[in-house]
Structure 1
Amino acid sequence: MKVVFDFGGVVFRWHPASFLARVWPHRIETLEQGAQAAALFFQNYGGDWGLFDQGLIGADEVVRRIAVRTGWPRGEVETVVRAVPDELMPIPATVVLIRDLQAAGHTLHFLSNMPEPYADHLSSSYPLSEWFVSGLFSGRVKQIKPNAEIFAMAERQFDAAPQDLLFLDDHPVNVEAALARDWQACVFTDAASARRELVSRRLLSA
C-alpha cells in the first residue's frame, strides 16, 4: 500500500486559531477570536491565500491583498505570513507513525497545499526524503486540493492506481475529493486515531 500524507495539521503542527493568538496577542485574546480572525485571514484556504497556496501569487502580494481586504495593518499581516514557517513543526506522534509504516513495508508519499516559500523551508529543514519517497507541493505544481487535477498529478507522480493509495488529510473536503477518484482516504484528527484506522485496515499491527 502507498500511504499519502497531507502536511499541515497532519505531519506538521497547524492550528490557525492558536497560531494567530500567539502572533497577535494584542489583537486576539481567546481561541474563539483566533478562529474568527483565521477564517478572515486564510479564507478557508481559498481566495487570496488559495492563490498563494497554488503558487499563483507571492508572499508580498498575498500580504498586500489581505491588508487591503481586511483593513489590518500591512505590517501585522506580514508578521503572520513570516511566522508560518516556525509554526510548522513536526508532530512527534505522526513522525513515529511514519517510521512504523516504513518498517511495515509501506511506501509513503505526501500531497500538500503549501506555498513555495514554506515548501522550501520544510524541504531544507526536515528529512522529507527520509520520510517520503516523493510528494507534491501545490505551490510548485500550480494546482491545489481539492481540485481533481492535483490528485491526477499525484497518481502519475506516485506511479500508482487510485485504489492503491490511502490518503490521510485533516480537511474532509480533500478526503472527499480523493474518494471521488477512487482513492482510499480517511480524515486525520490525530496520530492515535490514524493509527487505529491503519490497524483496522491491516496496514499496521496492533
Structure 2
Amino acid sequence: MTPEAVIFDIGNVLIEWQPERHYDSIIGEERRRALFDTIDLHGMNDAVDRGGNFRELVFGMADRHPEWRDEVIRWHDDWIKMASPVIPHSVRLLRALRAKGIPVFALTNFGIQTFDMATGHYPFFNEFDRQYVSGHMGVIKPEVRIYEMVEEDCGVAPEALIFADDRADNIAAAAARGWQTHLFEGPQGWADCLVSKGLLTAEEAA
C-alpha cells in the first residue's frame, strides 16, 4: 500500500553521526581505539538518549576515568562536531514530502539536551510534523515500546508507515510491527524508495 506517513531517523540519515571519525582527527586512530576499547562511550550515549542528563553523564564518566578525562569531555564539548555535517539530499526529500502534504515524522535516539543543541544548529529539525525523541520518551530504538508509542500517538496504521533508518536492528524491529521500512545506506537509495512507493516523482526526489 502507499504509505500515509514517512518517518526519518536523524543520525546518519539527515545528519552524519561519526564520533570515531572525529576522535581520529583529534587524537589519531590508534589512541581513539584504545579510548573506545577502555570506555563504553556509546553506552554512555545510550543513557543520554534514554533521557539522562548529558553533561552529568559525560563529566561523571570523565571523573571515573581520569587518565582519559580530556578525551571523554570532548564528547560533551565537541558534540555538534561529531553530529555533522548535514546530508543535504535527505533534507530535500523531507521538504519535498512536506510540500506535497505528506506527514513526515522523526523517530530518533537523541538526548533531551543534545536534541535541543542540534535543533539550534540545524533549524530543519523543526520542520517535522511530529518529533519522537527517545530522551523525552524514556525508551530507545530498537526496543519494541518506542514503536508502540509512535503508533499510539500518530494514529496511522503500522502498515501505512514507512521508516528509514541506517541500523538494521532498528529496521527489523519496525518491520516486526508491520511497518514498511528502508535500510538507509545513502540518500539516493532513499529517494528511489520514495519514488517507488509513489510518494514523490523522480524530479521531486532529486
TM-score by length of 2: 0.83
Equivalenced residue count is: 197
Corresponding position of 2:79:
84
Q: Does 1:128 align with 2:125?
A: yes
Q: Deviations over 1:121-147 (max 9, x none)?
A: 123331323x21011111111111001
Q: Does 1:101 align with 2:104?
A: no
Contact 1:67 1:77 in 2 (8 A): no
Q: Deviations over 1:142-199 (max 9, x none)?
A: 1110011111111122221111111110011000000011111111111111101111
Distance in 1 separating the partners of 2:38 and 2:139: 22
> Percent same amino acid among aligned pairs?
28
Corresponding position of 1:185:
181
Corresponding position of 1:17:
20
Displacement of 1:2: 0.5
| Counterpart AA for 1:164 | A
Local SS of the residue matching 2:78:
helix
Of 1, 6, 11, the residue aligned with 1:8 is 11
Local SS of the residue matching 1:136:
strand
Taking a change above 3 Å as real, the CA distance of residues 39 and 116 of structure 1, as seen in their structure-2 partners, is farther
Taking a change above 3 Å as real, the CA distance of residues 86 and 122 of structure 1, as seen in their structure-2 partners, is same
Taking a change above 3 Å as real, the CA distance of residues 59 and 115 of structure 1, as seen in their structure-2 partners, is same
Distance in 2 separating the partners of 1:66 and 1:37: 12
| Counterpart AA for 1:119 | F
User: Greater RCO between the two (CA within 8 Å, min separation 6)?
Assistant: 2
With 8-17 and 182-191 compared, the bigger mean Cα shift is at 8-17
Corresponding position of 2:47:
51
| Counterpart AA for 2:128 | F
Corresponding position of 1:111:
107
Displacement of 1:42: 5.3
Distance in 2 separating the partners of 1:201 and 1:180: 20
Q: Tell me, which stretches of 5 or more residues in structure 2 are unaligned?
A: none
Distance in 1 separating the partners of 2:189 and 2:32: 26
